[in-house]
Every structure is written in structure tokens, then in C-alpha cells.
């Protein structure tokens, strides 16, 4: 049920509303606060609304044609889509970029709703608005996230089995997660059978689940996201990485250029220059953490012993130096991951054929055939 405060003002008819009339909504799990302001700053209504699709739809339809301002969070994807479906102009604020909310000394849900409405009405650019991916991409990405969770669970179970055997004076055989159940069954001592045999069977079940996820993701990439084929031209980029990249970015047209993708994924260093001081800082780690992790994994392969010679590998090895500096290795991995993200965007948007030595040829380091 929607509750109004005692100070709420009746909303004028749609014909008399002066745009941009703005509705700020501070999202919570069960009940959210909202605050509406007319274009000239006159408060119209404040109150609470239950976080159900029916209640929110009723609220949004009453404010049809107005601007809705919310913060990015767990509920913001479906709420933003619902607002658009109800005829509202939706702005999704980046909470990391709105210090009036994140660093406020008077932070309450009601106050946050008022700040969202006021800022969205007067200066929307201060909200650093973001664009959520489509519902289809979100659902497909959920399959990928579920696979990640199962892989993490399998790793945890395997570590537990090895730890229990080690603490009792036994050692589990070296094996890949896929082959471990078959190899470890004969190594479990009788006194640990009751504790570990069910977990070995669980590992086998998790292996089957991961295999099923892999097949589903390959099918999804082939049938629904053909752009992934162009990205898989790059060694170290397989169906999982390419599909995650396409689903994370969703619409490449929303980026002004390839270089902005590195910043979007949090792979560019922070800046805190002042005068003659220009310290070397860590990367921003903004954007999707799992996508950033996958890109670093691909960079590890490119820089590893099995990585083929290419521009990306040469670029990373130059940063790495002689390989004795651990920090240099970390910087090389991140730098290659950033270059990889830019290259994947270029292949996606242009449909070009991947040339592993494009930069080397441009510099004359390799003769062009």
C-alpha cells in the first residue's frame, strides 16, 4: 500500500504539470521512499511505496510523463525498465558519483529521495547517469553468473577434501577438478569415508552441472550473439570470456570510443595529480568485477608460457621487464587486460579480422607481406 505523509500536496493534472517534474525514489528491499518536485522546485508529494511491481506501477502511472531518478542497485534494473514502460523518463544515478548522498552527514531514506529529485531536476549531469543492460542480456548473464558460483563452490569443496586428508596424515592425488573424483576414491582412508565420500560425489555432480552450463553458454553465444565469434579470434578469449564481454557491454553504441571501455570496466588508474605530483595509483575497479577478472585471466594466458607471440604479448612483456618484479607483473597483466578490452571492442564494432601483429607492422618491426 502507498502511504502519503501529512505534508503531501495533491498532484496537479497532467495538463498543468511543468516539465521536468521529477520523482526521486530511494530504493529499498521492502518499502521505498519517494519525493516529487515540480519544475520550479515546489514539493508535490512525499511518501512510501511497497516494493512490488503492482504498487510501483500504480505510482509511476500517476507520474506518467515525468522524470524518475533512482540510484543504481539490486532493484534498479527492473525498476528502471518498469518506469520506462509507464511512460517516464528514467535516470539511474551512479551512487559512487553522488557525494551529496554517499557522504552526507544527514543520510536518511527520505533525505536521499529529496536529493535525487532535486539534483535530477536541476542538474542531471551530477548524477553521472548509467544505462542498464537489456532484460535479455541480464537473463543470459545470470546463466554465466550461476556457472561462476558453481565453480567457486566446487573449488571450496575440493579444498575442504584436501585439507581434511592432509590434517589426518594423508595426501589427495594431484588431478584436475574434472578427474579428481575418479582418482581420489581409492585414496580416501576408511576412517574418513563417511566424511569425504559424499563430498566426492558432490564434486562429480558439480562437474556435470558446470559441463551443462558450458554447453548452454556455447549454444547461446552461437545462436544469439554471433559477435562473439569475432572476439574468439584472439588467443585466450573463448566462449565464456567473449559472451561475458558482449553481455556486459550489451550495446557498443553507448560508448563514445574503444578507449572508454577500459574506464568502464575499471581497468584505468586513478588520478590524483596536483602541481608537480603525479603519483602512480591503483586502477579504479569501477564497473563489472567479474568481467574484469575474466579479462585478467585471458591476459595471464597471453603472457604465460603457452601464450602465442603477438602485439598484446610483446606489450605486456615490455612492461614486465625481466620478470623479477612482482608489481611489474601485476601492472603488465592489468595493462594487457585493458588493451584486450579495447581490441575486443574494435573487433566487435568493425567486424575486422584479427591481426596479431597489426601494431608491429605499423611500426615496421615486421615486414608486411
Strand partners, 3: 48
Alpha helices per DSSP H over the chain: 53-62, 76-85, 99-102, 109-122, 135-167, 180-184, 193-224, 227-231, 239-249, 259-264, 289-303, 311-320, 326-350, 358-362
Query: Could you read off the pLDDT of 23-63 as tens digits, one per residue?
Result: 999 999 999 999 999 998 999 999 999 999 999 999 999 99
Report the pLDDT averaged over residues 308-313: 96
| Distance of alpha carbon 88 from alpha carbon 36, whole angstroms | 13
**3-class secondary-structure state, position 265:** coil
For residue 42, the model assigns a pLDDT of: 92
Provide the grid cell at 329: 607483473
Torsion angles phi and psi, residue 42, rounded to 5? -70, 125
Gap between the Cα atoms of 180 and 160, Å rounded? 13
Predicted local distance difference test score (pLDDT) of residue 99: 73
User: What is the rounded average pLDDT of the residues 230-249?
Assistant: 96
Q: Are 336 and 299 in contact (CB under 8 A)?
A: yes
Q: Are 246 and 228 in contact (CB under 8 A)?
A: yes
Paired with 50 in beta bridges are 31
User: What is the pTM for the complete model shown?
Assistant: 0.84
> Which residue from 208, 170, 344 is spatially nearest to 264, judged by alpha carbons?
344
Amino acid at each position: 500500500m502507498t502511504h502519503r505523509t501529512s505534508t503531501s500536496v495533491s498532484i496537479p493534472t497532467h495538463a498543468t504539470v511543468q516539465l521536468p517534474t521529477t520523482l526521486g525514489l530511494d530504493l529499498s528491499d521492502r518499502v521505498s521512499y519517494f519525493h516529487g518536485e515540480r519544475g520550479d522546485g515546489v514539493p508535490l508529494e512525499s511518501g512510501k511505496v511497497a516494493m512490488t511491481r503492482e504498487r510501483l506501477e500504480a505510482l509511476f502511472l500517476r507520474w506518467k510523463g515525468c522524470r524518475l531518478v533512482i540510484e543504481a542497485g539490486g532493484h534498479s534494473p527492473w525498476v528502471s525498465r518498469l518506469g520506462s514502460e509507464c511512460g517516464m523518463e528514467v535516470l539511474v544515478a551512479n551512487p559512487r558519483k553522488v557525494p551529496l548522498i554517499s557522504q552526507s552527514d544527514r543520510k536518511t531514506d527520505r533525505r536521499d529521495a529529496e536529493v535525487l529529485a532535486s539534483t535530477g531536476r536541476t542538474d542531471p549531469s551530477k548524477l553521472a547517469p548509467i544505462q542498464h543492460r537489456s532484460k535479455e542480456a541480464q537473463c543470459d548473464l545470470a546463466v554465466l553468473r550461476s556457472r561462476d558460483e558453481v565453480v567457486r563452490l566446487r573449488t571450496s569443496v575440493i579444498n575442504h577434501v584436501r585439507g581434511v586428508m592432509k590434517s589426518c596424515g594423508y595426501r589427495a592425488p594431484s588431478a584436475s577438478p574434472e578427474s579428481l573424483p575418479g582418482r581420489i576414491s581409492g585414496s580416501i582412508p576408511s576412517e574418513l569415508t563417511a566424511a569425504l565420500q559424499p563430498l566426492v560425489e558432490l564434486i562429480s555432480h558439480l562437474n556435470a552441472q558446470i559441463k551443462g552450463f558450458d554447453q548452454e553458454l556455447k549454444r547461446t553465444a552461437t545462436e544469439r550473439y554471433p559477435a562473439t565469434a569475432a572476439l574468439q579470434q584472439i588467443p585466450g578469449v573463448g566462449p565464456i570470456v567473449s559472451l561475458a564481454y558482449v553481455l556486459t557491454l550489451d550495446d557498443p553504441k553507448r560508448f563514445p570510443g574503444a578507449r572508454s571501455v577500459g574506464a568502464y570496466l575499471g581497468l584505468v588508474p586513478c588520478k590524483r595529480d596536483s602541481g608537480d605530483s603525479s603519483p602512480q595509483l591503483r586502477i579504479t575497479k569501477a564497473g563489472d568485477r567479474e568481467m574484469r577478472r575474466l579479462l585478467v585471466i585471458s591476459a595471464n594466458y597471453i603472457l604465460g608460457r603457452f601464450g602465442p607471440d603477438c602485439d598484446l604479448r610483446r606489450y605486456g612483456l615490455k612492461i614486465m621487464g625481466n620478470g623479477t618484479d612482482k608489481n611489474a607483473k601485476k601492472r603488465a597483466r592489468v595493462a594487457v587486460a585493458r588493451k584486450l578490452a579495447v581490441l575486443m571492442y574494435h573487433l566487435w564494432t568493425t567486424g575486422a579480422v584479427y591481426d596479431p601483429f597489426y601494431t608491429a607492422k605499423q611500426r615496421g618491426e615486421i615486414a608486411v607481406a
